[in-house]
Amino acid sequence: MKTIPEEFKIVQPIEQKEYLIHGELRKWTGNRTEVYSSISSTENYAPTLLGSIPDMGETEALEALDSAMKAYGRGQGVWPTMHVKDRIECMENFVEQMTTKRDEIVKLLMWEIGKSLPDSQKEFDRTVDYIYDTIEEYKDLDRNSAKFQKNDGVYAHIKRGPLGVVLCLGPYNYPLNETFALLIPAIIMGNTTIFKPAKHGVLLITPLLEAFKNSFPKGVVNILFGRGRAVAAPIMKTGKVDVLALIGNSKSANALQDQHPKSNRLRLVLGLEAKNPAIILPDADLDLTINECITGTLSFNGQRCTALKVLYVHEDIKEEFLKRFSQQVDALTFGNPWDDGVKLTPLPEPGKPAYIQELIDDAVQKGAKILNKKGGQHFDNYIWPAVLYPVTKEMRVYQEEQFGPVIPILSFADIEKPLDDMAESNYGQQVSLFGKDVYTLSPLIDTLVNLVCRVNLNSSCQRGPDVYPFTGRKDSAQATLSVHDALRSFSIRTFVAFKDNELNNEAIQQLLEAKLSNFVSTDYIL
């Protein structure tokens, strides 16, 4: 085992004893859950104790709901009625405090979820950029609605208003970025929120509790710790949540939305699982394609909803592709997140290597071969990515979202095969298409855009840049996220209308001049 650099050593486990409710950091004295990293700190392998978190239940969950509801105050709360520029100021205050916590959070990202140092830094920086971009976008949204329009003798001042109480649940693979990509737009639009961090990547929220408390009026952000089943389910059952914002899998999303007694009142903002394919045509540039497929299948060990989870390679180039791709997989470096040049890192879920092994065994038993020498090799907290070929639809690795290091490959002679499979699939997020001939590519692009929501040409699939729409068809998503779209997903169009007559015109004139309303305002926010 290489030594752990001094600055990344765990000196003292973090005993996270506080939670945020009613604008107070309350002390938790009840049951606790220990948090372990799958990374060892000792020569002989043993998971590292990182600290512990409160194990909360229904009582605290309902208290957090009460806190969020009071802050919303049936639309009368300080936050939902606040002027946009004041809400922006609170958010600026938050992000300034957040930037001071970069080193602590990056270190915890590495230990808690095994993300490499450069990727952990990128996750933090990308999140800070996302917040600043959201602020700019909100200013723009407000500027564009700082006006009146008149139709058929009726004036209208149309803006976007909050929806109410948002329950926000993020995933372990981007415990900061994806969670904040939900939480930040929800907050800034005037909603009040309850947020429960993911199972892995939970201690890294600790350094931000103070900043949340200091930056927003009481009850706007409530932070709970515990299992989703124990805290999220009781909140949903009350029917008092207006938005369920979740990035995770459709099973948990369905289970939670089913708990809500009035589904018509619940808005869903969901980023769910996917099985993004790569389609590799006979004229694809193999160097570029292999590099993109390595990144697509294996960055962060394939633990990304946007990862390439199945590859379709044309019969004519199959042999060369399989040989070179397998060699490149075996040439990757495995190590701890802070090791130089590391590409493959420990898996945070202790049961993941065994699950991946099950997928490999099932595929091999049904006729697939492991093409790479290291494929399926076990480490204490890892399993080397197996390149599996030929994969068939009967295999679990074809059907299930592996969300980990294993690469199923199919070959095709007729392009209808991958197209049919995609049409039949339960998922519809993105595809990668590799090839050069525009006469072949064009009709394919025209079809693929109707099967998924992003066609990546000679590029791996990805969410970013975050200004682009991130969504999916079928079981892959509900609503659209991006800096621009998220502000719309977490708000509703609402407006003031009045007939064109002296009484109304004078009243509005007066109201604008005296700046009496926070909603009716034509101020240009700089």
Residues that bind ligand G3H (CB under 6 A): 173-174, 178, 304-306, 462-464
CA proximity to 509, closest of 155, 12, 132: 155
Q: Which residue pairs from 337-343 have beta carbons closer than 8 angstroms and sit at least 24 positions apart in sequence? A: 337/39, 337/110, 337/111, 337/114, 337/115, 337/116, 337/117, 337/120, 338/4, 338/5, 338/8, 338/110, 338/116, 338/117, 339/2, 342/116, 343/116, 343/298, 343/299
173 or 191: CB nearest ligand G3H:
173
CB-nearer residue toward ligand G3H: 178 or 421: 178
Q: Tokens 């075996």, residue?
A: 330
Q: Letter for the amino acid at 179? A: T
Q: In the complex with ligand G3H, which residue's Cβ is closer, 127 or 462? A: 462
- What's the min distance (Å) between Cβ of 368 and ligand G3H? 26
Closer Cβ to ligand G3H, 248 or 435, answer by number: 248
Closer by beta carbon to ligand G3H, 190 or else 405 = 405
DSSP code string of 5-46? PGGGS--S-EE--EEEETTEEEEP-S-EEEEEEEEESSSS--
Query: Closest by alpha carbon to 410, among 305, 288, 314, 327?
Result: 314
Structure tokens that stand for 345 in this block: 């890192």
Residue 121, C-beta contacts closer than 8 angstroms, at least 6 positions apart: 102, 106
The amino acid present at 229, given as its one-letter code, is R
Contact status, residue 353 vs residue 382, Cβ threshold 8 Å: yes
Structure tokens at 435: 């090839």
Helix ranges restricted to H, 266-407 = 286-298, 318-330, 352-365, 396-399
Tell me the closest approach of the beta carbon of residue 464 to ligand G3H, in angstroms: 5
Best CA proximity match to 310, nearest among 427, 135, 190, 230? 427
Q: For ligand G3H, which is the closer residue by CB, 462 or 489?
A: 462
Give Cα separations from 92 to 110, 128, 288, 478 (angstroms): 27, 10, 41, 29
Nearest approach, Cβ of residue 321 and ligand G3H (Å): 23
- Minimal distance, residue 463 CB to ligand G3H, in Å: 3
Q: How far is the CB of 96 from ligand G3H (least distance, A)?
A: 25
* Rounded-to-integer distance, Cα 363 and Cα 357, Å: 10
Nearer to ligand G3H, 173 or 179 (CB): 173
**Cβ closer to ligand G3H: 21 or 308?**
308
Closest contact distance (angstroms) between CB of 48 and ligand G3H is 25
CB of 177 to ligand G3H, least distance (A): 8
Please report how close the Cβ of residue 503 comes to ligand G3H at its closest, in angstroms.
52
Cβ closest to ligand G3H, residue 75 vs residue 464: 464
Task: Name the minimum Å distance from CB 266 to ligand G3H.
Answer: 23
